[in-house]
A and B are shown apart, each in its own frame.
Chain A
Amino acid sequence: MRVSNTTIGLGLIIFAIAVLFYTRTFPTLEKGYPGPSLFPNVLAVLFIISGITLVVQGVRSGERILRFDTSGITGSGLINILLALGSIVFYIYLSEFLGFQITSFILLFGLMKWLRVSTPWSLVTACGVTLAIYVLFAKILLVALPWGLWGW
């Protein structure tokens, strides 16, 4: 998703102002010298300068003040992205409950089916990749992958 330089610039300025306000709650060093807040504040000032430059560049080039352009990506492409990201969220919340092997199989099979891989190939690949990752990480590298309720 593309947005205009002006939008990026305004976003940076708002973010930097929020940082400047938030860092006022940080303690200072002895004799009032800046401490934990110094580096974030310097970065916030540079964010503001960059943001203003982007806004000026955007306005000079005659672009709309706020522009969100999704023309570079198709509807199905956007759904594919959301599903890929949703898969990560699914893993974060359900892997402890379902265990690695079931979670991995569901995610791989579901994504491949959505991306129009045939059912037999999806089944074989989902099983194969799950097994390969399990053997590599759990058996060879001894990583404690989530076991889940069934203890798998």
Chain B
Amino acid sequence: MMAEHVYTAISLIAQPYVLFVIAMSAVYGLFVGAIPGLTATMATALLVPITFYMDPVPALAAIVTMTAMAIFAGDIPAALVRIPGTPSSAALVADSYALTQKGRAGFVLGVNVTVAAIGGLIGAIILILLAPMLAEVAMKFTCFEYFWLACIGLSCAVLVTRGSLIKGLVSLLIGLFMTTVGVDITLGFPRFTFGITSFLTGFNFIPAMIGMFGVSEVMRNVSSGELSFSGISAKTEKMFAGIGTVLRRYKLNICRAGVVGTFVGVVPGAGADIAAWIAYAVSKKFSKEPDKFGTGHIEGVVDAGTAHNAGLGGTWVPALVFGIPGDSITAIVIGVLFMKGLRPGPMIFQQTPEILYAIYATFILANLVLIPFGILAIKAGSQMLRVPRNMLMPAILMFCIVGSFAINNTTFDVGIMLGTGILAYFMEANDIPVAPAVLGLVLGRLLEDSFMVSMIKSDWDLTVFFQRPVSAILGVVSIILWSSPLIAALRARWKRQQR
């Protein structure tokens, strides 16, 4: 049976049209990732209006390939101009650029592309092994367990926020509140629609994503004076000279960073960027030469570079098994799956296994072709960075507008994009992270609907959420997560008093 699914998946991927889509997505991902200021999430949001018109397999293959390429390509400007192309490359900037200054740009980028591909493959293997096992467990879940899972997912999104926890919570509440617009599940009552019929179905997810990640990015870029990078003179020859020695010397680091990166990716809200930072910190802690970190030491680059691509596979685990996004990119993917009539969750493993196997196959393929595509991107890196942003930004803005319009052929969605773009720009300017809001926007309806349905079924008996053993465990985990900031604060206070 499994061999049959694998054969079907490979035959779905091996279509000339799907391979063409994968190749185009690879080029697109490498370009976006290599341009500082443009993120993989923005690239995903802009890709969705196109994938909207595709079958599920090419649509998902496009997103998987594009993100794998974009996350690696962020390492290129990190090495060449000391600016991470995407936030995922921030952890390795100092070491990469220091190596470039020592005339070893080709070497560091060669290491980047190799470990990114290996990390991506480790993430894919863990995804393939872990997701079906978790799906077996998830098959037994009812609306009570899903309610708690949504709570855990949203709580993690806030708890992994870098910076102010309270601002992470505010972001989450904004996302959740946006889902209250539209007809409610209990009485079909139109909430916060103010007589606008387009609001009856709620906030359209895709224009909101394009606004939050596309328009806000354009606003940030046009507000800064820097228009392009010139005078990049780093040589990227002899990329793979000495790579064998690095791989042999740091083979344990690569395995550890791959596993750490993937499991960090599984935590809702923690994507490739957090995976890279944690792997870098772990690497430094266990290194024999921790003092060299930050001064052009390849060890940290190996760990962070492996982890950020491994994290991508991890983020798909909760998205596919529970319908809970691992990061902003998989939040958009869940939106895409819904648009394609697929409900992410354990049933997808039984109803459409060929699509799952096609996703697995794409993960493997994307990370294998990452090396040849990545080499070309490194060669073209200096040229890509010279693309003037004052020409690029108007083009991206027009693409955002048409992309939002294309979903429902209405300028109302363009207005949604405008509103959410301004909101996201304001949030980021005030250190309020956007990712929890996106998770709130995806999970808000699930949270409210599962709660209200459970309450009506049980005639408003709250104890039903703790009557099933798994539900009770998940409930206790949720309560521990909610109280963890308070416990941490009390412990810190107690320690201060002890001193």
Q: How far is the CB of A28 from chain B (nearest CB, A)?
A: 9
Q: How many A-B residue pairs have CB under 8 A?
A: 158
- Contact status A137-B429, CB under 8 Å: no
Residues of B within 8 A of A29 (CB): 186-187, 456
- Contact status A43-B186, CB under 8 Å: no
**Complex: A111 Cα to B388 Cα, angstroms:** 13
- Contact status A50-B173, CB under 8 Å: yes
**Complex: A76 Cα to B226 Cα, angstroms:** 12
Residues of B within 8 A of A92 (CB): 411, 414-415, 418
Question: Which residue of chain B lies nearest to A28 when distances are taken between CB atoms in the complex?
Answer: B187
B180 at interface by CB-CB < 8 Å: yes
A1 at interface by CB-CB < 8 Å: yes
- Contact status B222-A38, CB under 8 Å: no
Residues of A within 8 A of B451 (CB): 39
- Contact status B222-A84, CB under 8 Å: yes
Residues of B within 8 A of A76 (CB): 225
Q: How far is the CB of B478 from chain A (nearest CB, A)?
A: 15
Q: How far is the CB of A71 from chain B (nearest CB, A)?
A: 12
- Contact status A43-B173, CB under 8 Å: yes
**Complex: A3 Cα to B170 Cα, angstroms:** 15
Residues of B within 8 A of A57 (CB): 166
Please classify the interface of chain B as helix (H, G, I), strand (E, B), loop, or mixed, using the class held by over half of its residues. helix
- Contact status A141-B50, CB under 8 Å: yes
- Contact status B191-A26, CB under 8 Å: yes
A102 at interface by CB-CB < 8 Å: no
B239 at interface by CB-CB < 8 Å: no
A152 at interface by CB-CB < 8 Å: no
Q: How far is the CB of B391 from chain A (nearest CB, A)?
A: 5
- Contact status A72-B415, CB under 8 Å: no
- From B166, B167, B192, B451, name the one whose CB has the most chain A CB atoms within 10 angstroms: B166
**Complex: A8 Cα to B222 Cα, angstroms:** 25
B426 at interface by CB-CB < 8 Å: yes
A33 at interface by CB-CB < 8 Å: yes
Residues of B within 8 A of A141 (CB): 50, 53, 406
- Cβ-neighbour of B166 out of A22, A53, A130, A144 (below 8 A): A53
Residues of A within 8 A of B452 (CB): 35, 38-39
- Contact status B184-A74, CB under 8 Å: no
**Complex: A55 Cα to B394 Cα, angstroms:** 38
**Complex: A141 Cα to B399 Cα, angstroms:** 14
- Binary flags per residue of B24-53, CB closer than 8 Å to A gives 1, else 0: 000000000000000000000000011001
- Contact status A144-B409, CB under 8 Å: yes
Residues of A within 8 A of B191 (CB): 26, 36, 40
Chain A stretch 128-152: residues in CB contact (< 8 A) with chain B = 129-130, 133, 136-137, 141-145
- Contact status A36-B222, CB under 8 Å: no
Q: How far is the CB of B91 from chain A (nearest CB, A)?
A: 25
- Cβ-neighbour of A133 out of B166, B227, B391, B398 (below 8 A): B398
B390 at interface by CB-CB < 8 Å: yes
Chain B stretch 395-412: residues in CB contact (< 8 A) with chain A = 395, 397-399, 401-402, 405-406, 409, 411
Q: How far is the CB of A135 from chain B (nearest CB, A)?
A: 12
B7 at interface by CB-CB < 8 Å: no
Residues of A within 8 A of B20 (CB): none
Chain A stretch 6-59: residues in CB contact (< 8 A) with chain B = 8, 12, 19, 22, 26-27, 29, 33, 35-36, 38-40, 43, 46-47, 50, 53-54, 57
Q: With A3-B430, A36-B191, A143-B406 in contact, is A88–B222 under 8 Å at CB?
A: no
- Binary flags per residue of A97-136, CB closer than 8 Å to B gives 1, else 0: 0001000100110011001110001000110011001001
B393 at interface by CB-CB < 8 Å: yes
A77 at interface by CB-CB < 8 Å: yes
- Contact status B398-A104, CB under 8 Å: yes
Cross-chain pairs A/B with CB under 8 angstroms, 28 sampled: A2-B429, A3-B430, A12-B170, A29-B187, A29-B456, A39-B184, A50-B166, A50-B173, A54-B167, A57-B166, A74-B223, A77-B223, A77-B224, A81-B425, A87-B394, A88-B401, A88-B417, A92-B411, A92-B414, A107-B394, A108-B395, A115-B227, A115-B393, A129-B398, A133-B399, A137-B402, A137-B406, A143-B406
Residues of chain B having any CB pair with chain A under 8 Å: 49-50, 53, 166-167, 169-170, 173, 176-177, 180, 184, 186-187, 189, 191-192, 215, 218-219, 222-225, 227, 388, 390-391, 393-395, 397-399, 401-402, 405-406, 409, 411, 414-415, 417-418, 421-422, 425-426, 429-430, 432, 448, 451-452, 455-456, 460
Residues of chain A having any CB pair with chain B under 8 Å: 1-3, 8, 12, 19, 22, 26-27, 29, 33, 35-36, 38-40, 43, 46-47, 50, 53-54, 57, 72-74, 76-78, 80-81, 83-85, 87-89, 91-92, 95-96, 100, 104, 107-108, 111-112, 115-117, 121, 125-126, 129-130, 133, 136-137, 141-145
18 additional contacts, CB 8 Å, given A47-B173, A115-B222? A8-B430, A29-B186, A35-B184, A36-B187, A40-B191, A40-B192, A46-B173, A78-B223, A84-B219, A91-B414, A92-B418, A100-B402, A121-B391, A129-B394, A133-B398, A136-B50, A143-B402, A143-B406
8 smallest CB-CB distances across A and B, nearest first, come from: A115-B390, A77-B223, A36-B184, A111-B394, A80-B222, A36-B189, A143-B406, A35-B186
